[in-house]
Chains A and B, each alone.
Chain A
């Protein structure tokens, strides 16, 4: 069982918007910065969001991140079939280790 809690799956139609939640505690999300990753099976995971809401170079602004209290949210607008993937949140924990969510499978209907 993962330290950070994510919904197992979300779905939406092409062109629509979807949000993925990530819930933690004061020992991790509540006091530290959150990152988000996109993972297509068989490939290397890709950093989408870091420091709660910053996008690395090359990541389109369709992807956004936010944090409130002990929860974080990844938003994706203008959904494309190529966005179908697993999405993970991650952060640092007071146990002096990194922690990740269980992952959310995005289906673009």
Chain B
């Protein structure tokens, strides 16, 4: 079965860029049926969707983070990555990489996340 593993620095200084990578095992990231996403959870708060990428390279980002987020794919390494620029303490969170299913019907959308990574904690502090 598909497994996801996040990796990257656990500490980032304010104003710098947070960079995380998700390694996908047990399946190809190029499979056209799935999106590859980043979701975060800040302390004491719920889940916040950061954004996602489709194997074609098409991306969707959270409107509140869009100006600072870049998600990319590396099909050779079977990985996808997150870059979040100009970070502040508010970006301190557990970051999860995930695989989601998405279908657009005429008047509604089907969306769910069927595989999650275990998450990695990123602290923004000087």
A residues whose Cβ falls under 8 Å from a Cβ of B: 2, 6, 31-33, 35, 37, 42-47, 50-51, 56, 88, 90-92, 95-103
B residues whose Cβ falls under 8 Å from a Cβ of A: 4, 37, 39, 45-49, 51-52, 60-63, 96, 100-102, 107-114, 116-119
Chain A residues near B113: list those with CB within 8 A.
35, 37, 45, 47, 90
Contact of A32 among B62, B63, B110, B116 (CB under 8 A): B110
Contact across chains for B108 and A32 when beta carbons are under 8 A apart: yes
- Grouping DSSP codes into helix (H, G, I), strand (E, B) and loop, the B interface class, with mixed when no group exceeds half, is strand
Chain A residues near B100: list those with CB within 8 A.
98
Closest 4 A/B residue pairs (Cβ): A102-B46, A35-B112, A100-B47, A50-B112
Q: Which of A32, A50, A97 has the most CB of B within 10 A?
A: A97
Contact across chains for A45 and B110 when beta carbons are under 8 A apart: no
Contact across chains for A103 and B47 when beta carbons are under 8 A apart: yes
Chain B residues near A42: list those with CB within 8 A.
118
Contact across chains for B60 and A47 when beta carbons are under 8 A apart: no
Chain A residues near B47: list those with CB within 8 A.
2, 37, 45, 88, 90, 100-101, 103
Chain A, Cβ-Cβ closest to B45? A102
In whole angstroms, what is the CA distance A100 to B100 when docked? Answer: 14
